Chain A
Amino acid sequence: MPQLMPSVKVLRLLPKWLLLLGLLASCSSTNSNAPVNLKAGLPVGAILSLTGNANVYGQDQRIGLELAQAAFKPGSSIPLNLSIEDGGSDEAGAINAFNLLINRGSAALIGPTLSQQAFAASPIAQRRGVPVVAPSNTATGIPELGNFISRVSAQSLVIAPLSIAKALQLNPAIKRVAVFYANDDAYSTSETAIFQKAIKAKALNTVTVQRTQLNDQDFLNQITSALRAKPDMVVLSLQAVDGGNLIRQLRELGFKGTIVVGNGMNTPNIYPICQKNCDGILIAQAYSPELQTDANRSFVARFKAQQAGAVPPQLTAQAYAAYQVIAEATERQNKRQPLEAKPLREVRILLNEEILRGTYNTPLGKISFSPEGEVIQESFFVAQVRMNPDGRSGKFTLLP
């Protein structure tokens, strides 16, 4: 039997480990009383889910930030020096990335991608007085984490009921509704609760609620049992891939009624999945590429130029808007009171106040913030998908 290492020896080694850890720790932490470092522009950090199961969202957001950088850096008196860090798809990853960027002297942060990450990581920024603009946290209670936390992503609470109302307007005969959602997905679960409330408020009859899983491919069981209840309308709270598959199977199994989908499917990535079956679905949008404003036209043009003519998804537009909010607030603040040589801590406080004070013409439309940091967005959209005859590409057509 092996003789085990005597713990005395371990204890003798312990100081060495502690010394090593101490050394590693000592090379961190910018002093927040030191003046802000503007050599390469105002340091701003972004925490995106570039790895893990939310990486698709993070990649969309990265494109938005890069486009925003290209759009706002030239001609700015105080450009932002953006560094993007991977926050993974879990709480620990976001905490690490937040700390890293705050220690590196970021004046403001963009992120994290997931609401759950925000609940764990944003309080760190709040504690240390660093403004955070969240580009994609839609859960209830995010701006309430503190006065330094704001978001440009509207809650599902505001958007979801609009599409139900529109569906009824288009077809007042709708009475029976079937609801689908992925019960292992935080977004789906919280949005479906809002949908179901909206359905009840319109005095419609929810005939069945079907649960799916985020990684499901085959929905035969759920669809056949839903169709047995003879719904006039189906309401989906799903993400692009599972939602797209479900719509295709739903139509193939003979459902002819109205399909309403949630904000999770507001991406052109659904076209290749449900193809011609996407046609006619109703969707509530926090961002529409069809919005005819200067800000949106220029954003869409930039995106198309970079992505070979593709149409930008909502997450990209929201990330772009988050960057724009910080860039414009910095510019205004610097004009009013130059940030040069001011201590980092003060810059963060001033910037936070300026962010909340302003109004911004973003691709999302005109937005501003409530005193808590909740986004006040002027325009939400209900669109209907119109597929082209090739069945591979299509368009979200805005409904009046």
Chain B
Amino acid sequence: MIDISLFVLMLLGALLALAVYLPLRAGQLSLATPGFYTIGGTVAALLSTQLPGLGGSDAVYPLTSLLLEMIVAIAVAGLLAFLIGKPVLKLRGIYLAIATIALVEILRVVLLSSPWFGAAVGIFAIPQPFEGPEGYLIAYGLLLAIVAWACARLERQPLGMAMAAIRDDELAARCMGVSTDQVKLIAFVLSAIVAAAAGVLAAHYFNSWNARQANFDASITTLAFVVLGGSRTWLGPVIGGLVLTALPELLRPIGDLRLIVFGLVILLGPIFIPQGLIKSKQS
């Protein structure tokens, strides 16, 4: 039993997975995705509920306002990622992961302790740009298509090749003349932009937004999407995001066991298919 709204959540999962995949493609294990996702959602929630000029009180929230929110959210998240990325990306491997977890945690505390961001209660009654889930499905579908297309293009461009080179061997890449710091930073900023754009739509879709969106669990879930799907090509995270979002729902018939089976899939996936569901061909 699948409903349109589950498809919407699946597409959201795929987008977040792509956001995790981008830095991972450059060999950087960043768990900051939920943080930028939350920033996107918070920007959308604040703008649409606090600025009457955007048409929040209209029966149907104007799409132009949605687009404007997305631009603002992308700018905010991109700028933040740029500023934070410079020092943070000097860290490697597990240290980078820890720093990005801390980043998400700091963001959560900031949101919680400021009434302006809705504190623990969150922001309610976010205006709806679409009548039902169908509109969100199209919007998310478009967004995913654009991001997936851009990722597919990126993989064949010098920048994408440079990212892959850094993943395979950062020192060798640097010796080959790849500006590793710059490439890593670009990957980090792109990831933030994708996550923020997904967050803007999510805030409207969920109708309420709160700081609980940014937590450690979300970091791990999105990482699992990429690990199960595969981190070599853009299709891997997309499939991982779609499948792992749908799986708990498809498993509902088995009742209380479903989360155990879900956990087993996440556990056994990397053991039996370490490269993920979608592998790249070796030349």
Contacts and interface: CB of A to CB of B under 8 A. Distances in A.
Interface of A: 1-5, 7, 10, 21, 24-25, 27-29, 50-51, 85-86, 90-92, 95-96, 99-100, 103-104, 116, 119-120, 123-124, 127, 139, 141, 182-186, 188-190, 211
B22 interface: no
Nearest to A89: B212
Nearest to B278: A5
B121 A190 contact: yes
Interface of B: 1-7, 9, 112-113, 119-122, 124-125, 132, 152, 155-156, 161, 164-165, 168, 206-208, 210-212, 232-233, 235, 246, 248-250, 252, 256, 258-259, 278, 280-283
Contacts of A116: 122, 208, 210, 212
Q: Which 9 residue pairs spanning A and B have beta carbons closest together?
A: A119-B208, A99-B3, A3-B283, A189-B120, A120-B206, A2-B280, A24-B2, A91-B206, A28-B1
Given A2-B232, A2-B281, A2-B283, A186 B3 contact: no
B85 to A, nearest CB: 25
Contact of B5 (A96, A182, A183, A189): A96
A119 B118 CA distance: 14
5 contacts: A91-B206, A104-B1, A119-B124, A183-B112, A184-B120
Contacts, number: 111
Nearest to B122: A116
B60 to A, nearest CB: 14
Given A104-B1, A183-B113, A186-B122, A21 B7 contact: yes
Contacts of B155: 4
Contact of A51 (B161, B207, B259): B259
Contacts of B206: 91-92, 95, 119-120
B211 A124 contact: no
Contacts of A1: 161, 164-165, 168, 283
Contact of B9 (A4, A10, A95, A104): A95
Contact of B3 (A10, A28, A85, A86): A28
Contacts of B4: 25
Given A5-B233, A90-B212, A100-B3, A119 B252 contact: no
Contacts of B248: 96
A86 B255 CA distance: 9
Contacts of B9: 92, 95-96
B246 to A, nearest CB: 8
B280 A5 contact: yes
Contacts of A2: 164, 232, 280-283
A184 B165 CA distance: 42
